[in-house]
């Protein structure tokens, strides 16, 4: 007799299908089904395991039920006795059955059929729930995947936007932690955080999985940057490791990219920037040039930087350069690029090609650099000379534009310093002239193109020749006779002055030693450039050369200009003292034209003053000029120095210097500089005149 109603079956169907989960559906189905057929026990067996057991007491359901008894079998259940059991298959795809057991009455065919129906309904509901759950998992997984991709993309954007490395790495660990619900950290090679998992991953360069003391899975993935192991990304998670390892690997890969990128950026920055000032270097500057069409350029060279660098030291020099870079940056406009070309040279690539604004920018820079710098507690004063090149006159080829600006700067330095000069094509011709002159000069010494003339030094009281000044001449096959004023600065710049100077001294010493056989007291004056004086070994070379020529050191006076003594006084004075100690005499040439104070004369080891011809020329003019010259001569006498009046060009000048009590003179009016052959007759000649 069926005990159920259609109503009950309908309710069963609705309830099972409405159950929120598979487990809930099973529990509900077992209970309702047992109720409907008035069974004492019920259970769903899936793969040999009980689900939703009902009425079986607290213990586990008897194995006899779980092994699925044949329909209608009687099963002895402990604590309950014999029950009639009916298993009903759940249906396709589900290896399981709904099993119910009743104490008294066996199940009739109708009941079995109903139970079968209920089992199949349950099966269908379970499949539905499973599909739903699978779909939910899938959706959750897709969402997680989408979030992973989203996070990785955000990190990627951070990397390509050159966000600070630490920010990117934090985003990676943070993103991984959020997505995995895990503790994540990045261990970098060289970090001294003790993390065995990270160490293992780095050593093996492979994924390393372990379980920690708290039972969490530790996943460590090596982070590779630029082909080498840079660290490891470590995640501590609960749950299936395999699932997470992929994602940890994805984040580790991002960390590797970020690190590689940061290194590349750093290397690129390093290769293209000057580490002292942080400015772009020449290479990057020229590159920036190529990216800009028709722009002007400033070439900046600091004045007096070398002196600061030499006296305050390299570190202070670097600090000064960095400070200069900052000031230059403060003077340019948005869109201008400042670079350090090397040494104390900077350049500005202008945003446009306008002449006026280029010059204005240059003048701003000069004014800014002229302000004192505070370096290591001292005030430091320097300056800048600037050349400007514009595409209109200098073309648009970067290297050429830059070298034109360099030429203009060179001119600015010569005319200035502290000027802005705009390049003009004529400067190019001048530079070519300079370069070819320099090339010819390099061959001149070996080619025997140098010669000496000698200008007598005369006793003014009687016109006797007491000595000669050697004056260098260059007989260039291509150019004819070139004046020393034209080629000596180039010889100094080209580093040729040392060899030339030695040749002058050796030739003149041999010559004067020969003349002294006829006139024993004859003296020799030789001009020395400042570069020569400061050359190591100069003092020894001079004494050796004079000894080789058999000319006593006391017969020789070296002439130096005031500027030489003032620009670098300490080493100069040192060398002068050593020369003086060897008997060589010293003279200050062109005296009065320099910026030295007369007071310093006292401290210098000097024997002679050569009063510049500019003063001698003025002796004819007013009484005031006369007073000036007389003061200079007076001073010389007070200091016990020999005074020589240079450039006596006429009788009036000769008379004037004689009246002023000047003992020695030199000048066209007395004798012009002459070839050596013309000197001996002068030595034999009687005195030119008697003092007035």
CB of 520 to ligand C2E, least distance (A): 24
Find out whether 414 and 421 touch, Cβ atoms under 8 Å. Answer: no
Spatial separation of the C-alpha atoms in residues 189 and 226, rounded to whole Å: 14
Query: Interface with Ca ion by CB under 5 A: which range of 152-160, 303-311, 315-323, 581-589?
Result: 581-589
Q: Is 527 in the site for ligand C2E (CB under 6 A)?
A: yes
Residue 530 binding: pick among ligand C2E, Ca ion, none (C-beta 5-8 Å cut-off by kind) = none
What residues are paired with 473 via a beta bridge?
451
Q: Is 590 in the site for ligand C2E (CB under 6 A)?
A: yes
Find out whether 522 and 555 touch, Cβ atoms under 8 Å. Answer: yes
User: Which tokens sit at 641?
Assistant: 């120095």
CB of 320 to ligand C2E, least distance (A): 32
184 vs 644 by CB, closer to Ca ion: 644
406 vs 559 by CB, closer to Ca ion: 559
Q: Is 456 in the site for ligand C2E (CB under 6 A)?
A: no
309 vs 527 by CB, closer to Ca ion: 527
Query: Interface with ligand C2E by CB under 6 A: which range of 76-84, 307-315, 399-407, 480-488?
Result: 480-488
Kindly give the pairing relationship between strand 642-645 and strand 608-611. Answer: parallel
CB of 607 to ligand C2E, least distance (A): 16
CB of 471 to ligand C2E, least distance (A): 4
What is the three-state SS of 582-644? CCCEEEEEEECCCCCCHHHHHHCCCCEEEECHHHHHHCCCCHHHHHHHHHHHHHHHHCCCEEE
User: Which stretch of DSSP H or E encloses residue 455?
Assistant: strand 450-459
Query: Interface with ligand C2E by CB under 6 A: which range of 269-277, 524-532, 565-573, 599-607?
Result: 524-532
User: Which stretch of DSSP H or E encloses residue 401?
Assistant: helix 398-415
User: Which tokens sit at 674?
Assistant: 């002459």
| One residue of 488, 522, 579, 601 binding ligand C2E per CB under 6 A | 488
CB of 279 to ligand C2E, least distance (A): 39
Find out whether 52 and 156 touch, Cβ atoms under 8 Å. Answer: no
52 vs 667 by CB, closer to ligand C2E: 667
Residue 227 binding: pick among Ca ion, ligand C2E, none (C-beta 5-8 Å cut-off by kind) = none
CB of 484 to ligand C2E, least distance (A): 4
Q: Is 652 in the site for ligand C2E (CB under 6 A)?
A: no
Q: Is 408 in the site for ligand C2E (CB under 6 A)?
A: no
Q: How many CB atoms lie within 10 A of CB 146?
A: 10
Q: Number of C-alpha atoms within 13 angstroms, CB side, residue 54?
A: 24
| One residue of 267, 493, 499, 668 binding ligand C2E per CB under 6 A | 668
Q: Is 151 in the site for ligand C2E (CB under 6 A)?
A: no
Spatial separation of the C-alpha atoms in residues 374 and 94, rounded to whole Å: 87
Spatial separation of the C-alpha atoms in residues 380 and 328, rounded to whole Å: 16
Residue 207 binding: pick among Ca ion, ligand C2E, none (C-beta 5-8 Å cut-off by kind) = none
Q: Is 176 in the site for ligand C2E (CB under 6 A)?
A: no
Residue 668 binding: pick among ligand C2E, Ca ion, none (C-beta 5-8 Å cut-off by kind) = ligand C2E
What residues are paired with 585 via a beta bridge?
557
461 vs 649 by CB, closer to ligand C2E: 649
Angle at which helices 484-493 and 497-515 cross, to 10°: 130
Handedness of CA 283, 415, 589, 604 (dihedral sign): negative
| One residue of 22, 336, 532, 559 binding Ca ion per CB under 5 A | 559
User: Which tokens sit at 467?
Assistant: 């000595």
- Mark 503-532 with x for binding to Ca ion (rule: CB under 5 A) and - for no binding: ------------------------x-----
Kindly give the pairing relationship between strand 297-303 and strand 337-342. Answer: unpaired
209 vs 445 by CB, closer to ligand C2E: 445
170 vs 492 by CB, closer to ligand C2E: 492
Q: Is 504 in the site for ligand C2E (CB under 6 A)?
A: yes
Residue 620 φ then ψ, to 5°: -80, -20
Residue 406 binding: pick among Ca ion, ligand C2E, none (C-beta 5-8 Å cut-off by kind) = none
Spatial separation of the C-alpha atoms in residues 643 and 634, rounded to whole Å: 9
117 vs 489 by CB, closer to ligand C2E: 489
Spatial separation of the C-alpha atoms in residues 340 and 299, rounded to whole Å: 10
- Mark 553-582 with x for binding to ligand C2E (rule: CB under 6 A) and - for no binding: ------x-----------------------
What is the three-state SS of 323-368? HHHHHHHHHCCCCCEEEEEECCEEEEECCCCCHHHHHHHHHHHHHH
Find out whether 251 and 198 touch, Cβ atoms under 8 Å. Answer: no
Interactions with ligand C2E, residue window 594-613 (CB under 6 A): 613
Spatial separation of the C-alpha atoms in residues 178 and 235, rounded to whole Å: 11
Q: Is 667 in the site for ligand C2E (CB under 6 A)?
A: yes
CB of 509 to ligand C2E, least distance (A): 12
Strand, coil or helix: 20: coil
| One residue of 647, 662, 679, 682 binding ligand C2E per CB under 6 A | 647
Residue 511 binding: pick among Ca ion, ligand C2E, none (C-beta 5-8 Å cut-off by kind) = none
Handedness of CA 176, 180, 183, 188 (dihedral sign): negative
Give the binding site for ligand C2E (CB under 6 A).
455, 470-472, 483-485, 488, 504, 527-529, 559, 589-590, 613, 647-649, 666-668, 673
Which residues in this chain contact Ca ion in the complex, by CB under 5 A? 527, 559, 589-590, 646
């Amino acid at each position: 007799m069926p005990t159920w109603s259609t109503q009950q079956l309908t309710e069963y169907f609705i309830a099972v299908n409405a159950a929120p989960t598979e487990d809930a559906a099973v529990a509900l189905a077992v209970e309702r089904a047992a109720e409907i057929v008035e069974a004492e026990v019920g259970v769903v067996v899936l793969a040999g395991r009980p689900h939703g057991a009902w009425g079986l007491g607290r213990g586990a359901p008897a194995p006899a039920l779980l092994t699925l008894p044949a329909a209608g079998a009687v099963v002895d259940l402990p604590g309950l006795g014999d029950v009639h059991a009916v298993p009903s298959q759940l249906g396709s795809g589900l290896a399981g059955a709904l099993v119910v057991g009743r104490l008294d009455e066996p199940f009739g065919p109708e009941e079995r059929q109903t139970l079968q129906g209920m089992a199949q309904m349950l099966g269908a509901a379970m499949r539905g729930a499973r599909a739903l759950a699978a779909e939910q998992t899938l959706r959750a997984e897709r969402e997680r995947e989408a979030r992973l991709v989203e996070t990785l993309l955000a990190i990627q954007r951070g990397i390509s936007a050159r966000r600070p490395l630490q920010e990117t790495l934090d985003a990676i660990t943070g993103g991984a932690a959020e997505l995995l619900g895990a503790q994540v950290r990045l261990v970098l090679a060289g970090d001294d955080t003790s993390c065995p998992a990270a160490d293992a991953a780095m050593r093996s360069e492979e994924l390393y999985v372990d379980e920690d003391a708290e039972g969490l899975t530790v996943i460590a993935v090596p982070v590779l940057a630029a082909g080498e192991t840079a660290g490891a990304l470590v995640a501590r998670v609960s749950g299936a490791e395999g699932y997470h390892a992929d994602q940890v690997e994805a984040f580790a890969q991002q960390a590797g990219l970020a690190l590689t990128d940061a290194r590349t950026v750093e290397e690129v920055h390093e290769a293209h920037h000057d580490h002292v000032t942080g400015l772009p270097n020449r290479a990057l500057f020229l590159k920036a040039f190529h990216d800009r069409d028709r722009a002007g350029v400033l070439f900046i060279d600091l004045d007096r930087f070398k002196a600061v660098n030499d006296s305050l030291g390299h570190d202070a020099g670097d600090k000064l350069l960095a400070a200069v870079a900052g000031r230059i940056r403060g003077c340019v406009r948005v869109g201008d690029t400042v670079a350090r070309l090397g040494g104390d040279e900077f350049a500005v690539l202008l945003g446009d090609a306008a002449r006026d604004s280029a010059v204005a920018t240059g003048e701003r820079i000069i004014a800014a650099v002229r302000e004192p710098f505070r370096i290591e507690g001292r005030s430091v004063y320097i300056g800048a000379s600037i050349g400007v090149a514009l595409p209109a006159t200098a073309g648009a080829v970067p290297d050429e534009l830059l070298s034109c600006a360099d030429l203009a700067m060179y001119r600015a330095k010569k005319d200035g310093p502290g000027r802005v000069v705009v390049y003009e094509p004529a400067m190019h011709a001048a530079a070519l002239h300079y370069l070819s002159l320099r090339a010819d000069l390099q061959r001149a010494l070996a080619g025997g193109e140098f010669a000496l003339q000698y200008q007598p030094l005369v006793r003014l009281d009687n016109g006797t020749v007491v000595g000669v000044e050697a004056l260098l001449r260059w007989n260039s096959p291509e150019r004819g006779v070139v004046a020393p004023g034209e080629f000596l600065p180039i010889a100094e710049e080209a580093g040729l002055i040392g060899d030339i100077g030695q040749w002058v001294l050796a030739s003149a010493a041999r010559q004067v030693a020969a003349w002294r056989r006829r006139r024993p007291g004859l003296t020799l004056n030789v001009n020395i450039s400042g570069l020569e004086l400061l050359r190591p070994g100069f003092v020894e070379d001079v004494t050796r050369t004079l000894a080789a020529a058999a000319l006593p050191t006391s017969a020789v006076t070296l002439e130096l200009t005031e500027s030489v003594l003032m620009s670098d006084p300490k080493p100069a004075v040192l060398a002068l003292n050593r020369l003086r100690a060897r008997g060589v005499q010293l003279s200050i040439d062109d005296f009065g034209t320099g910026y030295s104070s007369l007071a310093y004369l006292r401290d210098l080891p000097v024997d002679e003053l050569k009063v510049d011809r500019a003063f001698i020329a003025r002796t004819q003019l007013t009484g005031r000029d006369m007073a000036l010259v007389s003061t200079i001569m007076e001073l010389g006498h007070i200091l016990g120095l020999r005074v020589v009046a240079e450039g006596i060009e006429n009788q009036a000048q000769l008379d004037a210097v004689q009246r002023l009590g000047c003992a020695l003179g030199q000048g066209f009016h007395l004798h012009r500089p002459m070839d050596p052959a013309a000197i001996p007759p002068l030595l034999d000649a009687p005195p030119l005149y008697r003092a007035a």
